[in-house]
Chains A and B, each alone.
Chain A
Amino acid sequence: MARSERWTPYLFLLPALVLLVMWRYVPIVSGLRESFYSNGLSLTGAKEYVGLENFRRLGDDPVFWQSLRVTLLFNLIVNPLQVALALALAVLANQRLRGISVFRTVLLLPVAISINITSLAWGLALDTNYGLVNGLLEAVGFERQPFLRSVDQALPTLIGIVSWIGVPFWTLFLLAGLQSIPHEVLEAARLDGATRAQAFWQVTVPLMRRTIAFVLVSDTVVNFTLFAPPYLLTRGGPQESTNLMMYEAWQRGFVYGDLGASAAMVLVILALTMVVVAVQFAVLRPQH
Chain B
Amino acid sequence: MRDLFDSSLSRRRLVRNTGLGVAALAAAQGLSRPSVATAQEKVTLTWLTDLPGAEDVVARFSEQNPDIEIKVETVTFREVFQQNQVRLGSKSENPDIVSVDAPVVASYGLRGWLRPLDDAFTPEETDIWVDAQNESGRYQGSLLAAPIWNSSQLLFYNLDLFEAAGVTPPGPQDRLTWDQIAEAARTLTKDGIFGFQFEQFNRIYQLQPLPQGKGAQLIGEDGLEVKGIIDGPQWVEAFTWYSQIHNEWKVAPQGTLEVEDLFNNQQLAMCIRGPWAIKSFSEANLPFRWRAAPHPFWGGEIVVPTDSWHLGVNASSRYPAEATRFIKWSSSLEGGRAWREANDIWPPQQVILDEIFNDPANNDWPGQANAIAAAEAQYAKPRPLTPGYLEYEEILSDAFEDIRNGADVQEALSGAADRIDREMDKYRQ
Contacts from A to B (Cβ < 8 Å): 39-45, 61-63, 123, 127-130, 146, 149-151, 235-239, 251, 254-258
Contact = CB atoms under 8 A, between A and B. Distances in A.
13 contacts: A41-B89, A42-B429, A43-B110, A43-B429, A45-B112, A127-B256, A129-B255, A235-B398, A238-B402, A251-B394, A254-B86, A255-B85, A257-B89
Give the 10 A-B residue pairs with the shortest CB-CB distance, closest first: A41-B89, A149-B405, A256-B391, A238-B405, A254-B82, A127-B255, A42-B426, A239-B402, A255-B394, A238-B402
Interface of B is mostly: helix
Contacts of B427: 42-43
Contacts of B89: 40-41, 45, 257
A254 B85 contact: yes
Interface residues of B, number: 31
Given A42-B429, A45-B111, A237-B398, 4 more contacts: A127-B256, A129-B253, A254-B82, A257-B89
B305 to A, nearest CB: 22
Among A41, A63, A123, chain B packs the most CB atoms within 10 A around the CB of A41
A251 B419 CA distance: 13
A225 B330 CA distance: 43
Among A39, A42, A44, A128, chain B packs the most CB atoms within 10 A around the CB of A42
A235 B256 CA distance: 12
A61 B90 CA distance: 27
B422 interface: yes
B387 interface: yes
Interface of B: 81-82, 85-86, 89-90, 110-112, 253-256, 387, 390-391, 394, 398, 401-402, 405, 407, 412, 415, 418-419, 422-423, 426-427, 429
B256 A123 contact: yes
A45 B255 CA distance: 38
B224 to A, nearest CB: 11
A130 B232 CA distance: 35
Contacts of A130: 255
B282 to A, nearest CB: 26
A239 B405 CA distance: 9
B390 A255 contact: yes
Contacts of B423: 256, 258
B391 A43 contact: no
A161 to B, nearest CB: 15
Nearest to A61: B422
B377 to A, nearest CB: 31
A128 B402 contact: no
B80 to A, nearest CB: 12
Given A129-B253, A257-B85, A150 B426 contact: no
Nearest to B422: A61
A42 B112 CA distance: 11
Nearest to A261: B426
B394 A146 contact: no
Contact of A239 (B90, B387, B407, B418): B407
A31 to B, nearest CB: 15
Among B391, B418, B426, chain A packs the most CB atoms within 10 A around the CB of B426
A82 B103 CA distance: 45
B429 to A, nearest CB: 6
Contacts of A42: 426-427, 429
A256 B394 contact: yes
B254 A237 contact: no
Contact of B390 (A123, A237, A239, A257): A257
A235 B90 CA distance: 26
Contacts of A237: 398, 401-402, 405
Contacts of A255: 81-82, 85, 390-391, 394
B199 to A, nearest CB: 17
Nearest to B423: A256
A27 to B, nearest CB: 15
Nearest to B388: A256
A40 B387 CA distance: 15
Contacts of A127: 255-256
A130 B193 CA distance: 12
B255 A149 contact: yes
A100 B401 CA distance: 46
A40 B86 CA distance: 10
A45 B426 CA distance: 11
